[in-house]
A and B are shown apart, each in its own frame.
Chain A
Amino acid sequence: MAYDYEKHIRPGKLPHIWCPGCGHGIIMKGMIRAFEACGLEKNNTAIISGIGCASRMTGYMDYNTLHTAHGRAAAFATGVKMAKPEMDVIVVGGDGDGTAIGGNHFIHACRRNIDMTYVIMNNSIYGMTGGQFSPCTPTGALASTTVYGNPDPTFDIAKLAIGAGATFVARGTAFHAAQIEKLVAEGIRHKGLAVIEILDDCPTTYGRRNKFRSVIDMMKRLKEIAVPVAAAAKMTPEQLEGKVLTGVLHKEERPEYTEQYAQVISRAKGA
């Protein structure tokens, strides 16, 4: 039987703005299945986004939704979670939104280990503004502002998150649709800041310019480069050249921020 996504979508808000071939819809569906698997209650859940194609997801989802300013989603979300720790807080956005203009908020959300789930859709480009290079555009790639090839080194979002202190870090791709649900659900169940990066190169502003002949070619590439962490453990560095690890990359237990603050409150009241 077909899965019923409709009950999570606001009536009348579709069609979405995403281009044919974009992976964002696949990711949204994976997230919906994860929400259901985790039993998230609509009234008790806030989905918070920044600005960009991925961030438009909040308009479609029938939850408490906050479409904030460019890069600021994690900071707004921190205010929501801090004020109402009993709420489930999901952050969504793109690579430019999260790691360039929002980079400071991203790393400090990781450092605090505040109990939120941050799904970051890495499409390798600024899509909504027409294809300028982002911190996640591969070096050498073509973008509307790097027509001679991108001179910038690239952020590894997962390493950035781990380095900043996120206690759950995972990576998937838009090709591996079933895994998205699994990773997001595990992130939601994790106590602390969970970062789930999903690779889904933008076909319109990245793919075309970088000589991908079709969306199918781009999806095939995601399939080919993705190596599950367990499989990677048995591979040589030469075999891993050009590959990207997927699955749960990092998991640890560390005190969660709102629980730490609850202790501040009891100490203040006791003083």
Chain B
Amino acid sequence: MAKKVALLQGNDACAQGALYAGCNFFGGYPITPSTEVAEVLSIELPKRGGKFIQMEDEIAAMASIIGASLTGQKVLTATSGPGVSLKQELIGYACIAEVPCVIINVMRGGPSTGMPTGPGQSDVQQAKWGTHGDHPVIALVPASVQEIFSETVRAFNLAEKYRMPVQVLYDEIVGHMRERIEFPEPGELEVINRTEPTVSPEDYKPFDPSFGDVPPLAAFGSEYRFHVTGLNKAADGFPTTKANLVDDEQRRQIRKVDGAQPEIELNEEYLTEDAEVIIFAYGSTSRSARYAVNEMRKEGIKVGLFRPITLWPFPEKRIAELGKQAKAIVVAELNLGQMNLEVERVTKGSCEVPFLGRVDGEPINPGQIIDQVKEVK
């Protein structure tokens, strides 16, 4: 049977991916260039009995999805840099309280209001470090309309599986680009729901480590009653300042992602096998990089592309290996130097890490990347 295909905008594909994943609650606040995600879901969710609410501000939107998730819903919000800055407070809350939720960041220029209609990739370190305190982070960076769909589905799966917020970051170019998309059939992509408790309500502890690093999560309104707080807490969910209990909880939360990195990590490598120079690029920049690789290969230059699809946790092991293989890893991104710091950190001086950045609201074009690669001695 022929697949259902469409010419679709990236933000629309995000909304469709969310629906495919079983999203039934969206809380948002209007912001360019992400608003289409909200607009599509305001139409589609109520048709399915789901809920859409436009809240009074970005923080409230984040609060509403955490509240809804605690009642067992699969929840989403979508925003851009200024909104993500505001949401940081409650992204931290979702981390410590271990509440599954998906946050879409359609990246524009910054800081502050910046360039609302221009693309940026300058929120990628914010995704890792934006909220205070130590906490696990998962962030995905799709580069095409098709991939926005599938990565939104994967974001829900990871959020539900690891009981935590998952961020999907794509720049305005990918968000507003229209491309052909093939819709997966129901069942074609895996859809994961959170693990619910099976113990008796009297024995339920919302952060019980005896069930592994990701304890089952009950829903408000079910037969389980429990307490949720943003304070450091013990396994039973109640606040504690006992050093060993606080330490256990914090380390378990970090471990749940660190220990699962092979499962969470997703990269694409293009002609890296014999590459002497590797371009590290993600999102729209990786599309220019692929074009640049093809052009330079025609000239016989041994160059390849490493494209992270999971940006956080960072693909440390593979980048370290590539750093030993290649003379240089050229990092190209729409900021003034963010992921190059991570590449430098993990390659430990084994190769050069030339940087190509751009923040003028224009995309990095293949010619710029070719020039940068050709400068490598």
Contacts and interface: CB of A to CB of B under 8 A. Distances in A.
Interface of A: 10, 13, 42-44, 46, 48, 51, 58-59, 62-69, 72, 75-80, 82-84, 86-87, 104-105, 107-108, 261, 264-265, 267-269, 271
B68 interface: yes
A268 B227 contact: no
A69 B90 contact: yes
Contact of B53 (A10, A67, A82): A82
Interface in B98-118: none
B223 A78 contact: no
A86 B230 contact: no
Interface string B138-156: 0000000000000000000
B230 A82 contact: no
Contacts of A79: 25, 27, 53, 63-69
A64 B55 contact: no
Contacts of A269: 46-47, 49
A67 B228 contact: yes
A80 B63 CA distance: 10
B67 A268 contact: no
B64 A76 contact: yes
Contacts of B46: 261, 264-265, 267-269
A66 B70 contact: yes
Interface in B3-45: 25, 27, 43
A268 B51 CA distance: 11
Contacts of A83: 25, 51, 67-68, 71-73
A59 B59 contact: no
Interface residues of B, number: 41
Contacts of B51: 82-83, 261
A257 to B, nearest CB: 9
Contacts of B47: 268-269, 271
Q: Which 5 A-B pairs have the closest CB atoms?
A: A79-B67, A79-B64, A75-B63, A268-B46, A75-B60
A59 B238 contact: yes
12 contacts: A59-B239, A63-B225, A67-B230, A69-B89, A75-B64, A76-B63, A79-B63, A82-B53, A84-B71, A104-B56, A261-B46, A268-B43
A191 to B, nearest CB: 19
B229 A105 contact: no
Contacts of A76: 63-64, 66-67
Contacts of B60: 72, 75, 78, 104-105, 108
B220 interface: yes
B291 interface: no
B228 A65 contact: yes
B230 A75 contact: no
Nearest to A71: B59
B231 interface: yes
Contacts of B228: 65-67
A105 B60 CA distance: 7
Contacts of B226: 64-65
A72 B59 CA distance: 8
A44 B230 contact: no
A84 B49 CA distance: 12
A127 B43 CA distance: 45
B227 A58 contact: yes
Interface of B: 25, 27, 43, 46-47, 49, 51, 53, 55-57, 59-60, 63-73, 89-90, 93, 220-231, 238-239
A80 B56 contact: no
Contacts of B56: 75, 104-105, 107-108
Given A76-B66, A78-B53, 7 more contacts: A43-B224, A58-B229, A59-B238, A63-B225, A66-B67, A75-B59, A78-B67
A97 to B, nearest CB: 13
Nearest to A80: B67
Given A58-B227, A72-B90, A87-B221, A82 B43 contact: no
A59 B227 contact: yes
B230 A84 contact: no
A119 B67 CA distance: 19
A80 B239 contact: no
A69 B67 CA distance: 12
A69 B230 contact: yes
A123 B194 CA distance: 41
Contact of B221 (A64, A67, A82, A107): A64
Given A105-B60, A269-B46, A13 B221 contact: no
A43 B27 CA distance: 25
Contacts of A75: 55-56, 59-60, 63-64, 67
Nearest to A70: B89
B208 to A, nearest CB: 17
A58 B226 CA distance: 10
A48 B221 contact: no
Which residue of B59, B93, B220, B230 has the most chain A CB atoms within 10 A of its CB atom? B220
A69 B51 CA distance: 23
A9 to B, nearest CB: 13
A66 to B, nearest CB: 5
B58 to A, nearest CB: 10
Contacts of A72: 59-60, 63, 89-90
Contact of B71 (A63, A67, A87): A87
